[in-house]
Chains A and B, each alone.
Chain A
Amino acid sequence: MTPTAARAGVRAIAFALLACPITAQAQQPALRTALLSPGDVPDATKQPRSVAVLPVKAYLVQPGDLFAPEAAPARDLAGLAIQDAVLAALRSATYVEVVPPDGARQSLMAAPESAGRVQAAQAAYRMGLELYLGLSSARAVDKLRAASREFADSFADVFDPKSSADAQFMLGVALVDSGRPAEGHVAIKAGFAQQPDRRFRRDFFPPAAANALQAALTDLLSTVDPLRPYGDNQRMAALARKLGVGWLVLTSLRKGERGPVVSIAVYSAHKRLVEAEAHLPLDQLESRLEPFLSRWLACVPIDTTAVAPVSPLRVWTDMAVSWAPFLRQPTRRDFQSLGFAGGADVVLRQNLQWFGRVGLYTSVPDAYRDLLRSFNSVRVVTGLGGAGRSGPLRYFANLGVDAHLLGSFVTSVDPDCKLFGTEHRLCDRGSLLNLESQVLVGAHAAVGGQLHLGRDFVLAVRVSLSNYFLPLDGTDRLNRPLGVELGFGYRL
């Protein structure tokens, strides 16, 4: 970092600390926007803040100029200049992902339900217009009101303000024509709110409607909130959600006592309110816009994708009842092994864990009593696994090594050995299989999950299978223990 950049960074930090609200300072004490110089490498774990810049609304047309379409449309150039200045200021900041007005328009137009809504609105508008021209104003009102609603719901005032405003204007005119001037005034005012720089040809409307248009524009200019040119906080929240952004930059241009004034508001979808606002003279925009946006960005936290570990290691322990039948066994009928197993999963990295478990088992006699005595065994398994999370469920798949110490494991199919004992003269010694005190070693695989119950307690389920291959001559009769475990655990 160059000395100049360092000084700029320190100055920006000091500025941010002075400017940020107390809460913002506490949450985000370090300034992030100005600390990176062109030579610095951005932190890949930090997620850029998505900001959409909506089209500038210009409240420059005065009621007296409403029916003078030949008047110079000064707002176009000024609006574009404001828009470019805002975009340039945001794009120069780090960790900011800017959605320009054109991008916002395209995104809204490409929304799944948008095309259908707009088509329905246009059809309703055409029918309303025909009804109005056919002197059926009362019936036209219903159609035009439906068209206005569909346009508003699809946020057509952002990507096609003329069509949206036309529906409102025609609705207002139809209402006035129907003898409902108050409602007409509201509708026309709403039309001007969507397209405040609209002008009309002279003598296009009958005198009553023309007067209503002028009155509505007068009313709008005197009451409009320039910081909310696209509606209230609730509508902005819906718009931000539809655009998939965290912030909306709302700009408007209106006449001031000393010249045009640019009003800028930054709406936060997270907080659901305008968290920064400024009213800047148009001629000072260049010098004051970037500090304003920098001050706002300094107070906005940056989300990171990296997991901030609470402790260096996260340990999931559990204790479970376990059922472990052998898929390969020397007895003619299956015998069961029941017991308890406990262990821990130690999260080494985000999706990588080490696991270790110990199980104590005892056997349940088989139907033919080929297993001469119940035998106890101890299993130790360990290895590595992958883990993931989905809501309250943590799931994993483990691979490792299984060491199984057998207790007294003696089987025979000779009934004399079973009744009289293996030392009896009738017992056929050749029928005996003695695996007493052998240690079987092999590969182990397990899948399972831990369902979060509350606080740090979990319900743990695990299914495992091992295949022993050591000792080389001792695994052909007793092998492949299947394990099913159900228990409770605790996250340390």
Chain B
Amino acid sequence: MRAARIAVGRACDRVAKTLIALRSNTAGRPACLALFLALTVTTACSTEADLGGTWRGVTPLGAAPYDLLHGVDGSQVALELVIGEYGPDAAGVLRFFNGDAWLRARNPDPPDRQCGCALLHAGKVDAATAQAAFTLHGCLPGAADRAKLRTRGALRRTASGAILVLTVDEPGSPLHKRTSTIELEQTGGAGDIAEADLLCPLPLPTGNTASGQ
């Protein structure tokens, strides 16, 4: 895909040069040629990192006791990242699932009711390096206190998929500087994102809701 992007970019360069050359001799050229060339340049020359879509972890997380992400009871956790790429910006949601049956079907039950998902904030895309960086605000499955953590995420496209690196950036937390590197595979393109893929309800309120405390 990246090679195709580079090819398109070069083609766009050639088209642009052709347009410049045509400017000195446009009188005898059919107007439709200019129209289609202009449309080609304006529609095909967008540069994207091609990170938009749905990504899932290749293997469940939490197998090792020191993994950053794991289930409440030590079970494995599966991960899904839905990301929308809009030029230099990105938005999305990171969702966690029980990892037992992940490879066969998506288990609708999150591994942790209060840490089932986190929304991406301040997502930025570097199309030149095919990377995206964002911040997560929320608890991570497996964290002992369910406290909201500030976690930095870095998504980098690779030849076979993408690598997601999550790094806790919460000074004072025992998880500070803890990192998890997750290999992802793309399971859906940017145009395949459905509303259901983006669901990330607010965490349930804690405490005695009946008394308002």
Contact = CB atoms under 8 A, between A and B. Distances in A.
Q: Do A and B come from one complex?
A: yes
B139 interface: no
B90 A415 contact: yes
A332 B92 CA distance: 21
Contacts of A336: 39, 42-43
Contacts of B91: 415-416, 418-420, 426
26 contacts: A321-B35, A323-B35, A325-B42, A332-B87, A333-B87, A334-B42, A336-B39, A336-B42, A336-B43, A364-B43, A367-B87, A368-B86, A369-B87, A415-B89, A415-B91, A416-B91, A418-B84, A418-B86, A418-B91, A419-B86, A420-B91, A420-B198, A426-B91, A426-B119, A484-B31, A486-B35
Contacts of A245: none
Contacts of B103: none
Interface of B: 31-32, 34-35, 38-39, 42-43, 46, 84, 86-92, 119, 123, 193, 198
Interface in A289-340: 321, 323, 325, 332-334, 336, 338
A104 interface: no
A333 B46 CA distance: 9
B31 A368 contact: no
Nearest to A323: B35
A491 B39 CA distance: 30
A338 B31 CA distance: 15
A357 to B, nearest CB: 17
Contact of B31 (A413, A415, A486): A486
A461 interface: yes
Contacts of A420: 91, 198
A333 B39 CA distance: 14
Given A368-B89, A426-B91, 12 more contacts: A325-B42, A333-B46, A333-B87, A336-B42, A368-B88, A369-B87, A370-B86, A415-B84, A418-B84, A419-B91, A484-B34, A486-B31
The 4 residue pairs across chains A and B that have the minimum distance between CB atoms: A368-B87, A367-B46, A419-B84, A415-B91
A227 to B, nearest CB: 51
Contact of B38 (A321, A323, A333): A323
Contacts of A419: 84, 86, 91-92, 193, 198
A413 B86 CA distance: 9
Contacts of B92: 419
Q: Which of A325, A332, A415, A416 is most buried by chain B, counting CB atoms within 10 A of its CB? A: A415
Q: Which of B31, B32, B92, B198 is most buried by chain A, counting CB atoms within 10 A of its CB? A: B31
A370 B86 CA distance: 8
A415 B123 contact: yes
Contacts of A338: 39
Nearest to A463: B31
A420 B92 CA distance: 8
A420 B89 CA distance: 14
Contact of B35 (A364, A368, A415, A484): A484
Contacts of A367: 46, 87
A30 B90 CA distance: 84
A336 B35 CA distance: 12
Interface string A410-422: 0001011011100
A484 B38 CA distance: 11
A461 B31 contact: yes
Contacts of A333: 46, 87
Given A333-B46, A419-B198, A420-B198, A323 B39 contact: yes
A186 to B, nearest CB: 53
Contacts of A321: 35
